A and B are shown apart, each in its own frame.
Chain A
């Protein structure tokens, strides 16, 4: 029983790191431009399919396809920003929500027509790294995926805090008008931030696809999880999102041995609504409402 719990906790943390990475994409976009990106799930699904085609058709190593997906996601994100989001930014919440949701519908619609909703699977294994724990084995792919998620999050953090462009992004997040007055081209900063958010979400989708089978609709599930994570960590806070992801993984891990798996979403979403109402600035930010 005790080792059951330990194994399930380790498992939770490892998956949680990837939840965290996915949520960073969502929270970055919200933090910078105050847009809740409802095409997040579709982006994650696209990342999954990108892995499938890069590995099966192009024969690339699954982990080496990450830079390709990051670059592709960035270009795609910037494109979507100029087409769908640019016109409605700064308007009412409803408009930005609907604009991103419309893109989501288009992607899911095309994806369903092209790839159907049947499951796909990419065979990835890293036997050298497989760890075992009193009869439980932790697959190497999980360790690698979690490590890569943390590394990517770290790189993004370094980018935001130690480069000029990162500084510009943070300035725009803080106060768009003031940033504009300081000579920052805010339109481009918004487009770039959107691109980075999309790229990160796609990379998270790729990492998830190395672990589990997926369909074009799988992204929706991870989108909902990202919302929970983002709320746990505080909307608009990338470092909080990673911690929130690991926290969500822990919650799933702790509850797994005790309650039936089908009850986990009940716990998650109840928690989600409660935290949103009681601590709208996130659980990890102490002192309610302070920023």
Chain B
């Protein structure tokens, strides 16, 4: 039973803390920082389904986020629908697209797949830059009246924040449920040896496509909320390949294939990045420090923080997943 897993309760606790602390203190700056942390956790957790569980390196994971943002904002702006159905539509459309696309590119393995995902992100970005209904290169601006439907800008921003926290909790629960299911077991088998897994009856192509589509759903919804909150969406921000790869850094930092480790990695990375950006010595060298950090993890601690913890205290493997 999933309810008996301590990890589930830890996830709910984290989400409650995220939601309550800024709401009680009314600290807007803290809320913004935590919102970004939640976005990073969502991106890293869903990417973890592909990289950590299935060992397929997806560099274009940010395409789901950006495309979701575009579709959601289009629905809100042009069709004048409310944010919530727009969010759901974005999630479903992007997921379906991912399912179709995945059945094609997931026939590739290893480095070839990784290259294809870069191509996908760039193709989508180039397409959106030219697609006039989405505003082309100059992007889309949200009309201010859209906030009124949610009770004014102030209220709308808080609602968007709580929705993002809910999505964050959902991402982590999804990771946990998949990890503890038969389906997840199939994914781990693919990760270890895809050919052997197929011989043993794991329907690898189907499993991979489903995972690819699942890893698109929540990021697409998060994209809608994130860019709704910003009030503007531009191709450069929506399909930022660097953020996509930063998400990989986060999940490596925490420990790929874990649920809470990845979330911790994402949160730590966000805090660290925020610190570098404001510090006078490092603000120029934020990218350099992140690069050195990544290199050190890759070279000396490839299993991440949780891997290090598990080696120290093997019993924690069962408690903190």
Contacts and interface: CB of A to CB of B under 8 A. Distances in A.
18 contacts: A36-B111, A84-B299, A93-B57, A95-B298, A98-B248, A103-B295, A105-B290, A106-B291, A109-B286, A109-B289, A109-B290, A112-B287, A266-B123, A266-B127, A270-B123, A272-B119, A273-B123, A280-B112
Nearest to A260: B130
B288 A113 contact: yes
B294 interface: yes
B291 A105 contact: yes
A265 interface: yes
A224 B114 CA distance: 13
Contacts, number: 121
B119 A98 contact: no
Given A273-B116, A276-B116, A105 B108 contact: no
A286 interface: no
A17 B132 CA distance: 34
A50 B39 CA distance: 39
Interface in A189-242: 224, 227-228, 231, 235
B136 to A, nearest CB: 8
A258 interface: no
A99 B292 CA distance: 10
Nearest to A230: B115
A101 interface: yes
Interface in A248-291: 260, 262-263, 265-266, 268-270, 272-273, 276-277, 280
Contacts of A158: none
A94 B112 contact: no
Contact of B129 (A94, A108, A262, A280): A262
A102 B294 contact: yes
Contact of A92 (B55, B105, B285, B287): B55
Interface of B: 51, 55, 57, 104-105, 107-108, 110-112, 114-116, 118-120, 122-123, 126-127, 129-130, 137, 245, 248-249, 252, 284-292, 294-295, 298-299, 302
B13 to A, nearest CB: 31
A83 B115 CA distance: 24
Closest 8 CB pairs of A and B: A105-B291, A109-B287, A109-B288, A269-B123, A265-B126, A102-B295, A106-B291, A102-B294
B122 A224 contact: yes
Nearest to B191: A92
B114 A36 contact: yes
Nearest to A30: B111
B69 to A, nearest CB: 19
A97 B57 contact: yes
B184 to A, nearest CB: 19
A276 B108 CA distance: 8
A219 to B, nearest CB: 13
B130 A269 contact: no
Given A92-B55, A98-B294, A109-B291, A277 B105 contact: yes
B238 to A, nearest CB: 15
Nearest to A95: B298
Contact of B292 (A98, A106, A113): A106
Contacts of B130: 260, 262-263, 266
Interface residues of A, number: 43
A280 B107 CA distance: 10
A216 B288 CA distance: 14
Interface in A113-128: 113
Most B C-beta atoms less than 10 A away, residue of A87, A102, A260, A265: A102
Contact of B112 (A88, A262, A276): A276
A97 B285 contact: no
A186 interface: no
A194 to B, nearest CB: 16
A265 B107 contact: no
Contacts of A103: 291, 295
B287 A105 contact: yes
Contacts of B122: 224, 265, 269
Most A C-beta atoms less than 10 A away, residue of B110, B123, B284, B286: B123
Most B C-beta atoms less than 10 A away, residue of A84, A88, A99, A276: A276
A64 interface: no
Contacts of A88: 298-299, 302
A104 B241 CA distance: 13
Given A103-B291, A263-B130, A93 B299 contact: no
Interface string A146-184: 000000000000000000000000000000000000000
Contact of B110 (A93, A98, A109): A93
A272 to B, nearest CB: 4
Nearest to A104: B291
A172 B276 CA distance: 43
A276 B111 CA distance: 11
Nearest to B252: A98
B51 A94 contact: yes
B4 to A, nearest CB: 33
A11 interface: no
Nearest to A94: B57
B118 A227 contact: yes
B107 A106 contact: no
